């Protein structure tokens, strides 16, 4: 009875840890998507800033040209004014008419200059706003990066603790209550006859290593190593492990042969053992249906 309570308590604890990890991974995914969107917005803002800088330079150039072509107190150096004076001097128009025409042309030019100045002011204000927005985006990106670094700092030891707990539980499960263990056997690497492997188990074999803290590394060919590594990287949880941890798992995986018709694992059992099917066919049942 006590054993059942302990198993139930252990299962609840593992379930809580798995839920926590799943929640953290979901939050990290949301944060990553948010950072991606913010980065795209920042790129758009940078393009807008470059376009507006180009527009401002163009308007300033036009303004300078107009300013150089018009003198407020004299029209003696204005080519258009000189041309108009020469044309009017050849005609019979009175001097007042020529002066009024020049004044009207000057007012039109001044109005155009004022309008250009207003556009420059508006563009300058928009540029300042965009620059402030860019700085705000940079601050948000830095804050998001700090959150990511903090998350990594927190999750790394947490993941290490989970792995250590799983190793301890796997050892106990393998040597005491492993599913289908009566129909399995460990294939020795010294066996001169190489049997056809039907499955590869990622259970740790610390008790077979000869030293308490040493990992039991099982020799295997490059094809098997690649199959195991690919299976780990396809796992949503294990793919987040560090490269050294993945390499240790690949080194410690050992071959197991199951007899035909034997039960490998059933729903409700402790799911901390990793099975990599290298050369086999299995049947999966959900309830009574296959």
Per-residue CA distances from 135 to 4, 38, 40, 258 (Å): 59, 12, 15, 62
Q: 108 or 83, which is more confident?
A: 108
Q: What is the pLDDT of residues 109-166, one digit of tens each?
A: 888 888 888 888 888 788 788 878 778 877 888 887 787 777 777 666 666 777 776 6
The 10s digit of each residue's pLDDT in 43-62 is 777 777 777 777 777 766 76
Do the Cβ atoms of 274 and 201 come closer than 8 Å? yes
| Global pTM value | 0.29
pLDDT recorded at residue 6: 54
pLDDT recorded at residue 13: 61
- Per-residue model confidence (pLDDT) at position 35: 74
pLDDT at position 83: 56
Q: 66: pLDDT confidence band, cut at 50, 70 and 90?
A: low
Of 244, 194, 186, 203, nearest in space to 221 by CA: 194
Q: Report the side by side order of strands in the sheet with 199-201.
A: 254-256, 199-201, 275-276
- The Cα 20–Cα 154 span in angstroms is 12
Residue of 46 and 91 predicted with greater confidence: 46
Quick one: pLDDT at residue 188?
Answer: 41
What is the Cα–Cα distance from 121 to 126, expressed in whole angstroms? Answer: 9
Residues 288 and 221: beta-carbon distance below 8 Å: no
Query: Could you tell me which residues are beta bridge partners of residue 200?
Result: 255, 276
Predicted pLDDT at 144: 79
Predicted confidence (pLDDT) at residue 278 exceeds the cutoff of 50: yes
- Bridge partner residues of 256 (DSSP): 186, 199
At 67, list the tokens.
């300013």
**Residue 207 in this model has a pLDDT that exceeds 50:** no
Gap between the Cα atoms of 140 and 168, Å rounded: 42
Q: Which residues pair with 255 in a beta bridge?
A: 200
- pLDDT of 179 reads 45
Q: Give yes or no for residue 246 having a pLDDT over 70.
A: yes
pLDDT of amino acid 204: 45
Which residues neighbour 259 within 8 Å (Cβ) at sequence distance 6 or greater? Answer: 183, 184
- Mean pLDDT check: name the lowest of 19-28, 52-61, 66-75, 173-182: 173-182
Q: Of 80-84, 151-155, 167-171, 224-228, where does mean pLDDT reach its minimum?
A: 80-84
Average pLDDT over residues 174-196: 43
SS3 8: helix
Asked if 206 and 216 touch (Cβ cutoff 8 Å), the reply is: yes
Which of 232 and 188 is assigned the larger pLDDT?
232
What domains appear along the chain, each with residue ranges and CATH number? 2-174 (1.10.287), 178-276 (no CATH)
Residue 206 pLDDT more than 50? no
> Rounded mean pLDDT of the chain?
69
**Distance from C-alpha of 218 to C-alpha of 188, rounded to nearest angstrom:** 9
Q: Give CA–CA dist 204/285, Å, rounded.
A: 27
More reliable by pLDDT, 143 or 91: 143
């Amino acid at each position: 009875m006590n054993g059942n309570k302990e198993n139930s308590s252990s299962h609840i604890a593992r379930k809580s840890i798995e839920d926590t990890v799943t929640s953290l991974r979901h939050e990290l995914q949301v944060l990553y998507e948010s950072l991606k969107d913010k980065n795209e917005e920042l790129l758009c803002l940078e393009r807008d800033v470059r376009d507006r800088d180009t527009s401002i330079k163009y308007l300033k150039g036009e303004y300078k040209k107009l300013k150089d072509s018009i003198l407020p107190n004299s029209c003696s150096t204005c080519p258009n004014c000189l041309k108009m004076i020469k044309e009017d001097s050849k005609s019979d128009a009175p001097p007042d008419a020529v002066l009024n025409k020049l004044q009207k042309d000057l007012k039109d030019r001044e109005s155009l200059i004022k309008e250009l100045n207003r556009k420059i002011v508006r563009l300058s204000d928009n540029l300042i706003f965009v620059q402030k927005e860019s700085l705000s985006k940079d601050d948000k990106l830095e804050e998001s990066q700090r959150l990511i670094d903090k998350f990594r700092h927190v999750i790394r030891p947490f993941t290490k603790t989970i792995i250590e707990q799983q190793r301890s539980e796997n050892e106990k499960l393998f040597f005491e209550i492993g599913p289908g263990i009566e129909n399995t056997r460990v294939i020795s690497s010294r066996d001169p006859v190489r049997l056809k492997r039907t499955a590869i188990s990622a259970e740790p074999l610390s008790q077979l290593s000869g030293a308490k803290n040493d990992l039991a590394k099982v020799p295997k060919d490059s094809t098997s190593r690649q199959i195991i590594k690919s299976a780990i990287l396809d796992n949503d949880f294990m793919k987040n492990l560090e490269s050294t941890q993945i390499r240790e798992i690949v080194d410690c995986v050992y071959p197991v042969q199951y007899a035909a018709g034997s039960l490998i694992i059933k729903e409700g059992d402790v799911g901390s053992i990793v099975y990599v099917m290298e050369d086999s066919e299995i049947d999966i049942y959900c309830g009574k249906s296959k």
